[in-house]
């Protein structure tokens, strides 16, 4: 009969606590909300966090720097928790991948920012867009009104020309993912930006892309390996791994449980407990035969005649 004991109760309590564990997350936002910025413009980045005690820090990768921190190598921190960072005068060297990183390990979504010295930019969503939503792209110049006729391209192919410089993609789908850029005749062409379409709310970063800046191109650095390792070692992943390990231990404990009782049998007037199955069968057969053996007939009784 299987009965619970103290170690197993302890394991059960651990499993219940692991099922309820969670991780804190932050969401990186950019203002103005555009993946492309003119050189010299102001930009503000903020970590919208669930728990300020997690200690979020803004970091970035550029073509010349790796995992540099806001307020130390670039930008100015804002607020008591240092959850916001301002770049008052952007340069081309500020192009790169930005994210929020916690001292506990997890990271936020990543954002690709492109700073151009050209005269045309494409204002497109910074974060992934939901499948089925409408997305508006704006092709604008730095010095002239933003309602000039513009041509829009996806993956190098012309999509359409718009007389007002606005293009709306209605009910976007996964097939709308790609590199977008625009061109205003007489002013120039914008850099390219990747637009990600997702089926659910997610913080998946856009893939690394090559954005032309004038006659040259800058390849944005890949996602930082230390933050990725931090994600893999986040509390949520640890919970899953530990949960699986404890389940395996519980199964092994149950399978290898020793029987609580022992079989004893008397063989040759000796009580033995280390009896094999074969010996039990032999004893049973012997008892059966002894019960069914024939009794010896009594001798015939001879009655003498009575006188």
> Residue 172: its pLDDT value, please?
96
> Residue 258: its pLDDT value, please?
53
Count of alpha carbons within 13 angstroms of residue 24, beta-carbon side = 17
pLDDT digits (tens, 9 = 90+) for 86-117: 999 999 999 999 999 887 777 888 999 999 99
pTM over 0.95: no
Report the sign of the C-alpha dihedral through residues 119, 221, 204, 67, in that order. negative
pLDDT at position 254 over 90 = no
- Of all residues in the chain, the percent with pLDDT exceeding 90 is 44
- The count of other CB atoms within 10 Å of the CB of residue 63 is 13
What is the Cα Rg of the chain in Å?
A: 39
* CA 273 vs CA 15, 82, 279: distances in Å: 39, 73, 11
Contact 219, 95 (CB under 8 A): no
Of the candidates 7, 78, 8, 84, which has an alpha carbon nearest to the alpha carbon of residue 46? 84
DSSP letter string, 259-274 = PSS---EEETTEEES-
- Going by DSSP bridges, is the β-strand pair 96-102/56-62 parallel, antiparallel, or unpaired? antiparallel
> Residue 39: its pLDDT value, please?
96
Chain centroid to CA 79: 29
> Residue 259: its pLDDT value, please?
54
> Residue 153: its pLDDT value, please?
98
pLDDT at position 151 over 90 = yes
Count of alpha carbons within 13 angstroms of residue 87, beta-carbon side = 29
> Residue 253: its pLDDT value, please?
77
pLDDT digits (tens, 9 = 90+) for 177-217: 999 999 999 999 999 999 999 986 444 444 444 443 333 34
225: left (phi over 0), alpha (psi -120 to 50) or beta: alpha
For residue 307 the two structure tokens come to 């006188």
CA atoms of 94 and 78, how far apart (whole Å): 18
- Partnered with residue 30 across adjacent β-strands are 45
Chain centroid to CA 103: 18
Contact 119, 188 (CB under 8 A): yes
Chain centroid to CA 152: 34
> Residue 95: its pLDDT value, please?
96
pLDDT digits (tens, 9 = 90+) for 13-58: 334 333 333 344 778 999 999 999 999 999 999 988 765 556 788 9
């Amino acid at each position: 009969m299987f009965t619970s004991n103290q170690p197993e109760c302890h394991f059960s309590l651990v499993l219940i606590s692991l099922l309820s564990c969670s991780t804190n997350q932050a969401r990186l936002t950019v203002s103005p909300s555009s993946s492309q910025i003119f050189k010299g413009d102001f930009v503000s980045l903020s970590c919208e966090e669930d728990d300020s005690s997690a200690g979020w820090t803004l970091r970035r990768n550029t073509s010349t720097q790796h995992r540099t921190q806001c307020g130390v190598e670039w930008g100015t921190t804002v607020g008591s928790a240092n959850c916001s960072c301002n770049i008052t005068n952007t340069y081309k060297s500020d192009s790169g991948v930005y994210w929020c990183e916690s001292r506990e390990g997890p990271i936020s979504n990543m954002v690709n920012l492109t700073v151009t010295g050209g005269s045309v930019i494409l204002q497109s969503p910074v974060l992934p867009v939901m499948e089925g939503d409408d997305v508006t792209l704006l092709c604008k110049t730095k010095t002239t009104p933003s309602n000039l006729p513009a041509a829009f391209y996806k993956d190098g192919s012309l999509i359409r020309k718009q007389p007002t410089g606005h293009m709306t993609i209605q009910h976007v789908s996964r097939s709308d993912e790609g590199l977008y850029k625009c061109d205003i005749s007489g002013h120039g062409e914008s850099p390219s930006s990747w637009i990600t379409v997702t089926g659910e709310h997610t913080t998946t970063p856009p893939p690394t892309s090559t954005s032309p800046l004038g006659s040259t191109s800058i390849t944005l650095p890949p996602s930082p390996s230390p933050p990725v390792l931090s994600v893999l070692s986040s509390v949520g992943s640890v919970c899953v791994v530990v949960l699986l390990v404890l389940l395996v231990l519980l199964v092994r404990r149950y399978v290898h449980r020793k029987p609580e009782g022992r079989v004893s049998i008397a063989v040759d007037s000796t009580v033995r407990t280390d009896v094999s199955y074969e010996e039990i069968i032999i004893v049973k057969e012997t008892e059966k035969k002894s019960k069914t053996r024939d009794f010896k007939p009594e001798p015939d009784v001879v009655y003498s005649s009575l006188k």
